[in-house]
A and B are shown apart, each in its own frame.
Chain A
Amino acid sequence: MREWTHSFKIDREKCSGSLACMRSCPTQAIRVRSGKAEFLPELCIDCGACLKVCPTGAISAATRSLKEVWKFKYKVAVPSPVLFGQFPANISPAHIVEGLKSMGFDAVWIIAAEIELVNRAIRDYMQTWKGRRPLISSSCPVIVRLIQVAYPGGVEQLLHVEPPRELAGRELKRKYSEELGIPKEEIAAIYVTSCQAKTISIIEPAEGVKSDLDGAIGIADVYNGILTAAQSHKEISNHKVLSRDLLRSGSLFQWDMSEGQRRNLQDYNYMSVTGLSNIIRVFDDIEKGKLRNLDFLECYACWGGCINGNLTVDNLYITRSKLQRLMAELPEKDPRLEEEVARRFTCNELYAKAPIRPRSIKGDMGDLKERIKRIKEAEAVLADLPGLNCGLCGAPNCKTQAKDIAAGDAQKSDCVFYSKDRLDRLREIYLKKKI
């Protein structure tokens, strides 16, 4: 069994064993066996549901600390477009870019050209794709991992195109290394991310290759620094023109929002679904053979898209409204941007570096007869369990507990209906009383 790196850390000191995380996990990847939450790494899809519900703040996203970033010689921030929708109206994109620089970044890379490149690659891919439909957007890492873990048959339907952030990492290293005469290894491309899942997609890409980015920091981590710096930079007189030159095209802001690919793919049957529970319902329908006429399915695990990521500061609706206003001020087509896209489209590697494969899950081992034996055992155990899904055994529901027992990872005596010892142990943990 291989080891999985994940974007969460559970602080055992802070963990109160509240079970909230275990109950919220869409892939049943958490157990609270002895008063402390633990991940089953092969099932975790980095969605962040647990992080949101933890009452004691024991679960945190593993983003790069700023300290690690400063070790590189030349540091380039690659902000998610969402960043520009987070600030008060008097703080323009030009202020935000200056703010990032005054925090210590040597340059800021706006992914406008990369988004246009990817839009084009997606259109090409749609046109030539002969396999099963719908094709499913792959820019949200949680969706990629959900499919790997729970819908393995769908991996081939994932769009095989790199997300713009990865293209940016590659291109900026090429450019700055050439211009400044320093080796690529001394240049850090740091994504300023709206969620922790993109961090893990950089540390451990789903395709099992190496990312062209060197890490990510959350929008929430740079917010105050930018705000402080921007307030002292108020004198940027031509910030409107500067902002337009930086952002270049309105399509920059469509990327991270729901319905973001609709205009790009207007000739196709297109559907946008956001929110993990909604997506799971749609995936179930697709597995049953429904939605056969759909060409493209855009999925974001966060409700509303990346603008609602768990490392953002402002709420989804305010962010969307701000981004739409910025979009309205930008030209739809910028001739210099078009030129750059045309030049780079031919010489850029736009397709993912390697195919995405399903993850192998523990409990899948053995031949068919053994596996059926285990399933039958689990069913027999389940029939004996109370079916209340109370979670006191440490598994999210009786069904999962029965599976764990059949696999040898838990005992029937973990159930309070079968063991007074378990109840006593829980009293010790949760009431802090020795019995």
Chain B
Amino acid sequence: MAEELLKKTFTIFPRNFDKAGENSTEIKTLLKSLNFDPDIIRRLVVVAFEAEMNVVMYANGGEMDFVITDEDIRIDIRDEGPGIPDIQQAMQEGYSTATDEMREMGFGFGMGLPNIKRHSDFLNIESQVGKGTTVSAGIRLNPDA
């Protein structure tokens, strides 16, 4: 069992595009001050940002845990929202249910989940239509890092 070294919980507010991404910035600052490899930081920040944006755009708010263990760094995010009916479809690049308004703001190009997958070592999605979605994604740490 991995030993949990640090856990931080962030609240994510729905449709708050002004503040969106601030949690990811805080995670980035934290990872930087812990002197993680720049590549790990970059990947995890993309994961956190995309996961956060999904909640901001589609759900009625949620929570994000940022966890460091001696084995991995990960983001656990859960929301109350519409859920994803077909996860496989949602994983395809370019598949999006974003509104025009979101697209005008530069979001919703159907790259969210694919980007999380591309930048993480592991990704689990569980979703119940009409209830919500939980996503857990992260990066494995080299045992001697």
Binding site for B on A (CB under 8 A): 150, 152-155, 284, 287-290, 358, 361, 363-364, 368-369, 371-372, 375-376, 403
Decide if A358 touches B38 in the complex (CB within 8 Å).
yes
Q: Contacts A288-B24, A289-B50, A368-B70 given: A375-B42 contact, CB under 8 Å?
A: no
Decide if B46 touches A289 in the complex (CB within 8 Å).
yes
Decide if B38 touches A372 in the complex (CB within 8 Å).
no
Q: Contacts A288-B25, A289-B45, A289-B46 given: A372-B39 contact, CB under 8 Å?
A: no
Contact of B6 among A155, A364, A376 (CB under 8 A): A376
Decide if B46 touches A288 in the complex (CB within 8 Å).
yes
Decide if B35 touches A287 in the complex (CB within 8 Å).
no
Which chain B positions have C-beta within 8 A of A372? 5-6, 34, 68
Chain B residue at minimal CB-CB distance from A285: B21
Chain B residue at minimal CB-CB distance from A366: B35
Known contacts A150-B32, A368-B5, A403-B33; 19 further A-B pairs (Cβ under 8 A): A152-B32, A152-B38, A153-B42, A154-B38, A284-B25, A287-B28, A287-B41, A287-B42, A288-B21, A288-B46, A288-B49, A358-B38, A361-B35, A368-B68, A368-B141, A369-B70, A372-B68, A375-B30, A376-B6
* 8 A Cβ contacts from B17-49 to A: 21, 24-25, 28, 30, 32-35, 38-39, 41-42, 45-46, 49
Which chain B positions have C-beta within 8 A of A376? 6
Whole-angstrom CA separation of A369 from B34 in the bound complex: 10
Binding site for A on B (CB under 8 A): 5-6, 21, 24-25, 28, 30, 32-35, 38-39, 41-42, 45-46, 49-50, 68, 70, 106, 115, 119, 141, 145
Decide if A289 touches B115 in the complex (CB within 8 Å).
yes
CB distance from B115 to the nearest CB of A (A): 7
CB distance from B137 to the nearest CB of A (A): 14
Whole-angstrom CA separation of A363 from B46 in the bound complex: 25
Which chain B positions have C-beta within 8 A of A369? 5, 70
Decide if A288 touches B45 in the complex (CB within 8 Å).
yes
Decide if A371 touches B50 in the complex (CB within 8 Å).
no
Which chain A positions have C-beta within 8 A of B24? 288
Decide if B46 touches A364 in the complex (CB within 8 Å).
no
Whole-angstrom CA separation of A155 from B141 in the bound complex: 22
Q: Contacts A153-B41, A284-B25 given: A375-B49 contact, CB under 8 Å?
A: no
Whole-angstrom CA separation of A372 from B70 in the bound complex: 11
Contact of B49 among A153, A289, A364, A371 (CB under 8 A): A289
Chain A residue at minimal CB-CB distance from B24: A288
Chain A residue at minimal CB-CB distance from B53: A288
Contact of B33 among A153, A288, A363 (CB under 8 A): A363
Whole-angstrom CA separation of A361 from B38 in the bound complex: 14
Decide if A153 touches B35 in the complex (CB within 8 Å).
no
Which chain B positions have C-beta within 8 A of A363? 33
Which chain B positions have C-beta within 8 A of A152? 32, 38
